[in-house]
Amino acid sequence: MEYRKVNDADVDSWKEVILIYSSALKQISTKLEILNDEFQHVHSYNPIEHIKSRIKTSESIVCKLKKNGYESTIDNMIRHVNDIAGIRVICSFTTDIYRIAEMIENQSDINVLSVKDYIKSPKSSGYKSYHMIVSIPIYLSDKTVDAKVEIQIRTVAMDFWASLEHKINYKFETNVPEHIKKELYDCAQMVSDLDAKMLSLNEEVQQISQKNM
């Protein structure tokens, strides 16, 4: 993000940072809603079930900076914390995930900075999701700045599993007992099987519908 040098103690500067990231969330959320409406108009189908967005708390940002060895300054926050603004896009099927990602990439004013595909390459815990770090220009009255946003795209089933894992990790402060980790991993495999079966069922329904047209 292009940003003027500020003093950490300057409350107005912190407020301005939050304003910029909040604006970035609004812009990308609106883009996704429009794309979803267009998809409904053209294909009579909505790939997006719902959208969640959040701004990371100042406490969480400071913890992340310290964990990575950076001082708690606004400049470091902007440069080194990519998920201050976060959007989670929930869809029905795994094919929708890549369809939505492609639609985001095709937006002329969105710059994709990095991608992590935890669907094709899940984490060791079993976690699956599609992550994108993008930047989008925010037009203020006296300048234009680029704000980074993390976009996570996942199915309803993946989101249910990830939500449970997050609660368990929070409960045990990340020191989760091994037998619970194994149960969670097994559940992740069940989620993958469920997503595959639901996708297969949906494709069969689509084929039947096309034959009956």
C-alpha closest to that of 103 among 168, 198, 34, 11: 34
Architecture of the domain whose range is 11-157: 2-Layer Sandwich (3.30)
Tens of pLDDT, residues 82-92: 999 999 999 99
Token readout for 138 is 């925010």
Token readout for 99 is 């369809």
The answer to whether the CB of 165 falls within 8 A of the CB of 127 is yes
Segment holding 165, helix H or strand E: helix 156-171
Which among 38, 59, 105, 150 is annotated as catalytic? 150
Tens of pLDDT, residues 171-209: 887 788 999 999 999 999 999 999 999 999 988 988 887
Annotated domain spans of the chain: 11-157
- The band of 117, judged by pLDDT with boundaries at 50, 70 and 90, is very high
Count of helix runs (H) and strand runs (E) in the chain = 6, 5
Backbone angles phi, psi at 138, to 5 degrees: -115, 120
The confidence score (pLDDT) of residue 106 equals: 94
Share of the chain above pLDDT 90, in %: 67
- The band of 11, judged by pLDDT with boundaries at 50, 70 and 90, is very low
To the query of whether residue 150 is one of the catalytic residues in this protein, the response is yes
